[in-house]
Structure 1
C-alpha cells in the first residue's frame, strides 16, 4: 500500500516515514506486509543489510524472536528497532543475548525548496532503467556497501524487487561514463524515502554524494512529496545536515546471538 494520494507535510510525522522504510526493505523479499506487527524481510543474500526484522508491535518479544530466528536462519541479518516498535523491544532483545551494534538517525526535511549545488566537473546523473541500468546502478554502490563479492546476486535482486509498495526511481552518477555514485527515491506512504546514497571510495570528497542526494530530492518534489526522509550513516550525516535535514528519531541496530 503506497498511500500515493496522501501527502505528509510535517517532518515530525514518524509513522509514514517508518512505513516508507519498511516498504523499501520488504521489496527485497519476504511475506510480511507493511502493516504487520512482526515485519521481516529476507533477500537470501549473504549480507546483513539485506535481511532483517523491521518492526515488532503487540507481540511477545521472545516468541517473535524465535520466529524471526527460524525464518532468517542461514543468512546474516539484524534487527531494526525504531519508533514503530514497542518501547520494551530493545531491552527484551538484550536479555535474549542480542548485541546492540549501532544506531542510525532518522533524518527528514521539507521539500519546499531543494538546494541546487554546483555539479562536480565531469559528473552526469541519469536514471537507471532496464537490465543494463540495474547492473550499473549496483556497480555504483557495491563497493560502498561491501557488496562487491555479491554483485551478481544483488543485480538479480534489484531486477526483481516488488513493485507494489511504492514508486522507486534509481539514479546513477557517471564520471567518464563509469558509474561512481548512486541514489534512489521511494515514493510511498505519503513521503519520499532516500536510499542507497553512495559514492565510490576513490571519488569521495568532491561533492558527488551531495549532487546525487539533491537529484533524489528533486525527483521527490517532482512526484509531489513534501517530506523527504532517510536513515543516515555517520559519514552521510554532515552532508544531510547541510542540505536541511534534521534528526527526528533514531533506529537501534541489534545482532542476534551466535
Structure 2
C-alpha cells in the first residue's frame, strides 16, 4: 500500500460524488483535506489527506452538525475518528488493478449515450442493490454532459441484465456495479468488468464481500481498507 495509491482513490471517489451532486443541482465544497457534497438531504464527504488541518477538522464538524438526512464519510487513510461525534464506522477493502489483456465480454455491453439509455441503467442499478432512490434521481440526465462519466449496460437475451458507473479522471473508479437478480450467476458481472477494464488506466474500487472474489479473479489486489463513517448501508 502506498499513500499515492490512496490519494488517487480518494480523489476519484470525490469526483464521483461531485459529478452526482452537480447533475442533481446539489452543493459541492472542496477543502485541502476533504471534499463534501450534498443534495436532497444526503451528505457525502471524502477525506483527501491522511491528516486534516485544524481548520479542515473544524469545517468538517460544522458540516456534519448542519447535515440533514443520511451522512457518509469515506476515509481511505483510516486516520479520521468520528466516534466522538456519535458516528460508527465499517471497513471495506480498497482494490486496484493495473492494465492487462482481457478476454472479449461474453454478453453485449453498451455505453449509455441517451436519456433513455440512462433510465435503463438506473433501473438496473436500483433493482440490483437496491439503492434507495426514486427513478430519475439516481442518474440524472445532466450526467450525459460529463466526459469523465461512463455508464455501461450489459444485455442478456435482449434484456438489460447489469450496469455500472465509471468515473475516469486519469484513473478509472468503478461504482454501483450490479447484476439484475434474474440474470445473476450467468457471467454478466464478469462481462461488465471486462468492458470496464478495457482501458489504458488502472481501475480502483471499494469491494463488497460478495464482489471481492470476482475482483480478485480478475487481477485486482487489495491495497488497504477504507473506513466508512455514517448512518446508512454502503452501496
User: Which range, TM-score by smaller chain?
Assistant: 0.7 to 0.9
Q: 2:121 aligns with which of 137, 140, 143?
A: 137
Please state whether the residue corresponding to 1:31 is helix, strand or coil.
Answer: strand
**Pairwise CA distance, 1:192:** 1.4
Answer yes or no: is the 8 Å Cα contact 1:173–1:180 preserved in 2: yes
**Change over 3 Å in CA distance of 1:58–1:11 after alignment to 2:** closer
The runs of at least 4 aligned residues of structure 1 exceeding 3 Å deviation read 59-63, 161-164
Matches within 5 A, 1:98-109: 98-100=87-89, 102-109=90-97
Please state whether the residue corresponding to 2:128 is helix, strand or coil.
Answer: coil
**Pairwise CA distance, 1:213:** 1.0
1:245 equivalent to 2:229? Answer no
Q: 1:81 aligns with which of 69, 75, 85?
A: 75
Answer yes or no: is the 8 Å Cα contact 1:183–1:196 preserved in 2: yes
* CA–CA separation in structure 1 for the residues paired with 2:121 and 2:195: 15
**Change over 3 Å in CA distance of 1:177–1:245 after alignment to 2:** same
**Pairwise CA distance, 1:154:** 1.8
**Pairwise CA distance, 1:138:** 0.5
* CA–CA separation in structure 1 for the residues paired with 2:213 and 2:4: 20
Matches within 5 A, 1:209-224: 209-218=189-198, 221=199, 224=200
Q: TM-score, normalised by structure 2?
A: 0.83
1:31 equivalent to 2:11? Answer no
Deviation per residue, 1:51-81 (Å, 9 max, x gap): 31111622364652232331x31x3121212
Ranges in structure 2 where 5+ consecutive residues have no aligned partner? 22-26
| Alignment: residue pair count | 222
Ranges in structure 1 where 5+ consecutive residues have no aligned partner? 1-9
Q: 2:98 aligns with which of 110, 113, 118?
A: 110
Answer yes or no: is the 8 Å Cα contact 2:70–2:231 preserved in 1: no
